[in-house]
């Protein structure tokens, strides 16, 4: 791929990640700017320190915002914002 194609592909993921971060901050009423959350940081326990109640809130929020139901998914989908992006936009997982 050319560098412009790679940048476009990266931008697609970064846009989805940005949308997820805004959703997390808004739904969980966090006091940080969405951009402070990194794509790869842990979300539960370490990192953003979300708990199981936060997960329930995010299940609802993700379905409302992205139309994706994650209720039966394992906790790995909440491993990071970027991992969540893979779930809400499967096109991101397609081979480059």
Partner 1 sequence: MASVLATRHPEDTVHGQVGDATVPLRFSSLAEEYQVLRERAAVLDLGGHRLIEITGPAAVDFAQRILARDVEYLTSDRCMMSLVLDDSGQVVDQVIAFGREDGLLLESSCGAGSRLLDHLLAHAVEGAEIADRSADLTVIGLEGPYAWGVVGRLIDGELASLPFESVVEATWDDVDIVFARTGYTGEYGYQMIVPREASAGLWAGALEHAQAAGQEALELAMLEVRQPIPRHEATPGATVIEIGANWLVDITKDDFVGRAAVLEAFEAGSGRRTVGFTGCEGVPAPGTRVLAGGQDVGEVVHAVHSAGLGATLGLARVDPELAAAGLDLTVGGLGVTTLTSPYIVPKSWSIPII
Radius of gyration for the alpha carbons in the chain, expressed in angstroms and rounded: 13
Q: Does 38 bind partner 1 (CB under 8 A)?
A: yes
> Nearer Cβ to partner 1, position 64 or 93?
93
DSSP state of 71: T
Residue 62: CB atoms within 10 Å: 23
Kindly report the number of other CB atoms within 10 A of residue 80's CB atom. 21
- x/- mask, partner 1, residues 52-71, rule CB under 8 A, reads --------------------
- By CB under 8 A, name the binding residues for partner 1: 1-7, 9-11, 13-14, 17, 31-32, 35-42, 45-48, 74-76, 79-80, 82-83, 85-86, 92-93, 96
């Amino acid at each position: 791929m050319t560098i412009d194609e790679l940048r476009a592909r990266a931008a697609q993921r970064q846009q989805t990640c940005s949308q997820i971060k805004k959703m997390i901050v808004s739904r969980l009423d966090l006091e940080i700017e969405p951009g402070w959350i990194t794509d790869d940081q842990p979300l539960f326990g370490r990192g953003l320190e979300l708990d199981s109640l936060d997960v329930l809130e995010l299940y609802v929020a993700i379905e409302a915002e992205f139309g994706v139901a994650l209720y039966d998914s394992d906790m790995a989908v909440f491993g990071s914002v970027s991992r969540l992006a893979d779930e809400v936009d499967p096109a991101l997982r397609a081979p480059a």
